[in-house]
Structure 1
Amino acid sequence: MGLLVKDVVQLSVMETAKVKTGKDFLSEKQVEWISVIEVPVENFVRKNEFVLSTGIGCEDDPILLEKFVQDVIDSGATALAFATGRYIYDIPDRVLQLAEQHNFILIDIPWEVRFGDILQMVLQEINEDKQAGREQAEGVRQELINCVLQGKGLQEISELLFVHTKLPIAVIDETKTLRAKRSFDQEIIDALDQAAQWQKIPPSEVSYSDHPLYHHIEEFIINNKTCFQLSIMSNHSKQGYLLFQVDDRQQLNWFVMNVLEHALTACALYFVKENAIELTEIRLRDNFLLNLAKNHTEVTNQILSKAQLLGYDLSRPYLCIVGDIRFKDDTTNSQHTKDRPRTSSLQSMNYYFQKEITNAGNLLNRKTMTTFDEGEVIIFLEADHIPYMETSNQFLDIIERRLHELLTGIYTSWGIAAHKDGHYVFHESYEEARTALEIGMKQKGNGERTFFSDTRINRLLMALSHDTDIADIVKDTIQPLIQYDKKRQTDLIYTFMIYNKYKGNVSQTARALNLHRQSLLHRLRNIESLTQLSLVDSDDLFLLELSVRLWMLKKME
């Protein structure tokens, strides 16, 4: 593809022309334009241009003629044809030697041949060649798009590119993971994830193509080897990179640049399709797990088969972990979101959790199933003979250590339940883990872990708190203390809680409250007086303790 000097000299209008130098390069040098130039050359000649000249102004000055030829050579022109017989009768030997030294093509055209005829025929050939190139590039574009539409992948795109451009090709995603390659240097592939070895080269001032895409090419040196890169964009978001290698930038002609441009479109379309499929799979998996956890879904053979299609094995035992995710300022910590990777999966805080949950499961060689629902993360972690507390603590330690490095200011509260037996195992274990989380957040605050097996007394109290008769007894018992504390700015309820914690030991209680012994005894007498209960009577003590705990439980709701 491309008009060559050989094609030009074979035109009928050039029948009487003589090639004086550079005959061996007629089949290599391309002609992209033709012009008529006289001294001075300055910047009027561009690369790969076929130059016509009469030599006017140089007829009596061979040194000036030699400088004129040198300037044309330096401009990157493909060939120079002199019309001899008027101003120049013979091309001087020193000019011919200069052209030979630079492997440059010099042509002698008889004066009788009109430049207008040459220009007309060469421009017609250039236009026809460009039209053929456009048609061929359009054919390649259709092939590339069909690759994606027919379900083929990036490897097939790379193979097509290589066939049409002869350039070594590689496609990588945004994380610098290799997705496809064809004849690409393995040393560069091995250094993809070693950013320090990628030395970016400043753009060259010399343009080897006027194609608009050319100026978007980035050049790198990796392990002393040159690599060129174009970004694959979709919806103003970078999806990956198209890498290629060239021996000479002159290979990047208009046709090759057109093909590369179409390849970027095909790759972007592929990534969009891949992302859509991945997001659909994520939604299906999320919905499946949410339904399994939050509804009375019986684990039937049909559910087992559906889970298997989604990559889950429900035949194994799983403990359930429910987490509440928050930042200290109850925001999404926007100052850190700018550093988050924009991948084809979840572009949010959930992305980090999913990644770290998967990594922790892999480290412990346990399967995990994870879904998210309005700031809540639900994890089913494979269980075995090891106590579930030990397993879950080890698992959560790994996750939290990494998350605190990645997301400053985040804290998580966890509710954990062991594997359940029966037809609704996932729903029941989720309910228990959710209950443990709620109790833990009420009693311990944020950032704690609560195991369902440790919440028996709390669950008993919660059940009792809903009984109206018991609520009335609690109110009658505790109300005098509440009113006294509010009126006198004291804390008799807290004093009783500490006294009860130390099993009635006055000395230990006084130290814990930082009170004088007599001051503590005065408070204890007030408690007995206000409640009409004796702190040395076991029944009275039980009633007061139960009332205080139920009141605290209601207060935290």
Structure 2
Amino acid sequence: MLTTAISFGHNPDLQEELIQKLSDKKVAAIGIAVGRYIDKIPENIIKKANSVDLTLVEIPWDIPFVDITREIGEKIIGSELMLLEKMEKFRNQLMDVALSGEGLGLLAQTLSQLISNPCFIVNEHLQIVIYPTDFGTKEREIKKLLGAFSKSNRSQDLIKGGDKKSSNILDDRGEKIGAFAPIVAQGDLLGYLIVFEKNKKMDKVDYLVLEYGATVAALEILKKSKDERALDRLESDFVHDLIFSEDMTEQNAAERALFLKFDPAAPHIIVTIDIGDFSDYLRKSQVSSEVDIQILKQKLFYTAHKKLSDSHLKFVSSRRSDKIVFVIEVGESYDLTPIKDIFEELRDHIARNFQDITVSVGISSLCMSVEHIPKGYRETEKAIKIGRILSGKNKVTCFDELGVYQILFNLKEDEEIKDFIERQIGRLLKLKNNKRNELTHTLNTYIELGGNTSKTAEALFVHRNTLNYRLRTLNNLLKQDLHNPHTLLNLAIALKLLRLQNK
């Protein structure tokens, strides 16, 4: 502010009031012309200005104010012009990064170079996503910076208030050690750009660059998310056609799977994960919002997807209603055990992390070509159904391990099958519960152990005489010779069919 002091030159109260008001308004300095209305700046003004830390400039009367304002104006305009030119240059560089398609890594690297300090990208949970490796930043320095940032609620206040501007990060002593800008898109907080003020103090341009970089980061994240969703949809549609289209050929599959890293010439197995009683779970957990239901299914899908990715399996996948389907590439002489182990670990992980949700898993036999994949998918569904019948929910069932159940499952409702069961073990089924269960278990164990009475008695934890008594009872009841291999085969089939029917 420049003044001749004409209005307050001889009024001490007005003089001190003016100084106070200028200080309150954050005025940088006041220049007072002396030689006409006042001979010199009064002591009370000097004292008051010192108390509020306001700069006083004594200007000789013969120096026109216009000369002073012109000089200051030129300095300000020149400085602002340089600032604008510098900012425009930096914006162009960041725009080149955005158009390059190189992603967040190049963005962090470019920002670090422009600001001359290491720049990190972290997610909303303050987990580092990207940081430049060539700035020599030590791990303890990173932890200190993120620790100071996490202690501040300033970041959340900014987002809630809709403010996307940068702000400082202070350490425990209140000293500035960095700055951040929130990465916000469509009202959602996606993460933060964080600068570690290691090499130089940040200036006005650095803060503007940081804010512009946050905008570029938001666009990059949205673009990547959109690309991933498009690829997910492409993959899901492809898997759907693989398992349901009987007309899919190796050539068609190769053309459609160009971007999916799917080799149609390789052998594959199909794995289906079925969420058991999902509607019951939703009812018990009082989840009714369609959005919440889809979020839950998506979490389950990505949990399974991550497990297979971490196991270094090559696969394509699809989510269908309450099922997740994987088409997994394997060798011709693949070992089923590691695959089964992976899905048993996944099943256990889901049980631990998604309370009250159970999953049943079906694994197909080997599909040597894409033409066999629909059959493989049907095998997984059959494996899940039979597995639930034989072992209950939350089981991993391999179609190849089902043996004769593969055939019997399709026959279980046939009237002739019911007659067969009645002829073979009908009298046994008419006994009272305890006796029926005891003799059925004895007969089943005896058949499974090949009619070996010693092993059967040991497996049942009964004395040999007790077993012989039960076998005589069964002989008399069924009117069958339990030493005849053909009789044992018929009884074994009848018992297996009974298990399928009862369930």
TM-score w.r.t. structure 1 length? 0.63
- The verdict on how the C-alpha distance between 1:162 and 1:73 changes in structure 2, with shifts beyond 3 A counting, is farther
Tell me, in whole angstroms, the C-alpha distance in 2 between the residues paired with 1:512 and 1:196: 66
Larger deviation, residues 462-471 vs 282-291: 462-471
The 3-state SS of whatever aligns with 1:233 is strand
- For residues 143-164 of structure 1, give each alpha carbon's deviation from its aligned partner in whole angstroms, at most 9, with x where no partner exists: 977975786755776688789x
CA contact (8 A) 1:417 1:452 kept: yes
CA contact (8 A) 2:359 2:393 kept: yes
The 3-state SS of whatever aligns with 1:313 is coil
Tell me, in whole angstroms, the C-alpha distance in 2 between the residues paired with 1:405 and 1:171: 34
- For residues 82-140 of structure 1, give each alpha carbon's deviation from its aligned partner in whole angstroms, at most 9, with x where no partner exists: 2434775224899999999x998542246799999999x999x9999999999998999
Counterpart of 1:550 in structure 2: which amino acid?
A: L
CA contact (8 A) 1:83 1:108 kept: yes
Counterpart of 1:454 in structure 2: which amino acid?
A: E
Which residue, out of 422, 428, 433, partners 2:380?
433
Structure-1 residue corresponding to 2:416: 469
Structure-2 residue corresponding to 1:495: 439
Tell me, in whole angstroms, the C-alpha distance in 1 between the residues paired with 2:489 and 2:350: 44
Structure-1 residue corresponding to 2:231: 281
Which residue, out of 525, 530, 533, partners 2:479?
533
Instruction: Please tell me whether residue 330 in structure 1 is matched to residue 281 in structure 2.
Output: yes
CA contact (8 A) 1:356 1:402 kept: no
Q: How does 1:90-105 map to 2 (within 5 A)?
A: 90-91=40-41
Structure-1 residue corresponding to 2:157: none
- For residues 282-318 of structure 1, give each alpha carbon's deviation from its aligned partner in whole angstroms, at most 9, with x where no partner exists: 1111221232233325442342243232222333333
CA contact (8 A) 1:54 1:88 kept: no
Counterpart of 2:310 in structure 1: which amino acid?
A: N
Which residue, out of 453, 459, 467, partners 2:400?
453
Tell me, in whole angstroms, the C-alpha distance in 2 between the residues paired with 1:471 and 1:404: 38
- The verdict on how the C-alpha distance between 1:493 and 1:288 changes in structure 2, with shifts beyond 3 A counting, is same
Tell me, in whole angstroms, the C-alpha distance in 2 between the residues paired with 1:220 and 1:358: 40
Q: How does 1:154-553 map to 2 (within 5 A)?
A: 154=104, 168=117, 170=119, 172-174=121-123, 176-179=127-130, 185-187=135-137, 194=143, 198-200=147-149, 213=163, 217=167, 219=169, 226-244=177-195, 251-252=203-204, 261-326=211-276, 330-331=281-282, 348-361=299-312, 366-384=313-331, 388-396=335-343, 399=346, 406-407=353-354, 411-422=358-369, 424-475=371-422, 482=429, 484-485=431-432, 490-493=434-437, 495-503=439-447, 505=453, 512=460, 525=473, 528-529=476-477, 533-534=479-480, 536=482, 538=484, 543-553=490-500
Counterpart of 2:219 in structure 1: which amino acid?
A: L
How far did 1:358 drift? Answer: 0.4
Tell me, in whole angstroms, the C-alpha distance in 2 between the residues paired with 1:518 and 1:481: 18
Count residues in correspondence: 471
How far did 1:35 drift? Answer: 9.2
- The verdict on how the C-alpha distance between 1:473 and 1:367 changes in structure 2, with shifts beyond 3 A counting, is closer
CA contact (8 A) 1:481 1:527 kept: no
- The verdict on how the C-alpha distance between 1:441 and 1:518 changes in structure 2, with shifts beyond 3 A counting, is closer
Tell me, in whole angstroms, the C-alpha distance in 2 between the residues paired with 1:511 and 1:384: 39
- For residues 56-79 of structure 1, give each alpha carbon's deviation from its aligned partner in whole angstroms, at most 9, with x where no partner exists: 6559xxxx98x9989978996422
Tell me, in whole angstroms, the C-alpha distance in 2 between the residues paired with 1:194 and 1:256: 23
The 3-state SS of whatever aligns with 2:281 is coil
Tell me, in whole angstroms, the C-alpha distance in 2 between the residues paired with 1:116 and 1:83: 13
Could you tell me which runs of 5 or more consecutive residues in structure 1 were left unpaired when the two chains were aligned: 1-33, 39-51, 205-210, 336-343
- The verdict on how the C-alpha distance between 1:380 and 1:352 changes in structure 2, with shifts beyond 3 A counting, is same
CA contact (8 A) 1:412 1:448 kept: yes
Tell me, in whole angstroms, the C-alpha distance in 2 between the residues paired with 1:199 and 1:542: 74
Tell me, in whole angstroms, the C-alpha distance in 1 between the residues paired with 2:7 and 2:169: 37
C-alpha RMSD over aligned residues: 5.8
Tell me, in whole angstroms, the C-alpha distance in 1 between the residues paired with 2:206 and 2:19: 30
The 3-state SS of whatever aligns with 1:187 is coil
The 3-state SS of whatever aligns with 1:330 is helix
CA contact (8 A) 2:182 2:191 kept: yes
Tell me, in whole angstroms, the C-alpha distance in 1 between the residues paired with 2:272 and 2:338: 15
TM-score w.r.t. structure 2 length? 0.68
The 3-state SS of whatever aligns with 1:499 is helix
CA contact (8 A) 1:213 1:257 kept: no
CA contact (8 A) 1:177 1:192 kept: no
Counterpart of 2:29 in structure 1: which amino acid?
A: A
CA contact (8 A) 2:386 2:409 kept: no
- For residues 347-406 of structure 1, give each alpha carbon's deviation from its aligned partner in whole angstroms, at most 9, with x where no partner exists: 522112111210012xxxx43333332333333444347652233244346645655665
Tell me, in whole angstroms, the C-alpha distance in 1 between the residues paired with 2:333 and 2:373: 19
Structure-1 residue corresponding to 2:290: none
Tell me, in whole angstroms, the C-alpha distance in 2 between the residues paired with 1:146 and 1:116: 44
Structure-2 residue corresponding to 1:339: none
Identity across aligned pairs (percent)? 19
CA contact (8 A) 2:30 2:55 kept: yes
CA contact (8 A) 1:324 1:376 kept: yes
Counterpart of 1:357 in structure 2: which amino acid?
A: L
Tell me, in whole angstroms, the C-alpha distance in 2 between the residues paired with 1:400 and 1:506: 38
Tell me, in whole angstroms, the C-alpha distance in 2 between the residues paired with 1:56 and 1:475: 123
CA contact (8 A) 1:356 1:403 kept: no
Counterpart of 1:268 in structure 2: which amino acid?
A: A
How far did 1:321 drift? Answer: 3.0
Counterpart of 2:479 in structure 1: which amino acid?
A: L
Structure-2 residue corresponding to 1:47: none
Instruction: Please tell me whether residue 82 in structure 1 is matched to residue 41 in structure 2.
Output: no
Counterpart of 1:84 in structure 2: which amino acid?
A: V
CA contact (8 A) 1:317 1:383 kept: yes
How far did 1:438 drift? Answer: 2.4
Larger deviation, residues 517-526 vs 470-479: 517-526
Tell me, in whole angstroms, the C-alpha distance in 2 between the residues paired with 1:267 and 1:154: 7
Could you tell me which runs of 5 or more consecutive residues in structure 2 were left unpaired when the two chains were aligned: 155-160, 287-294
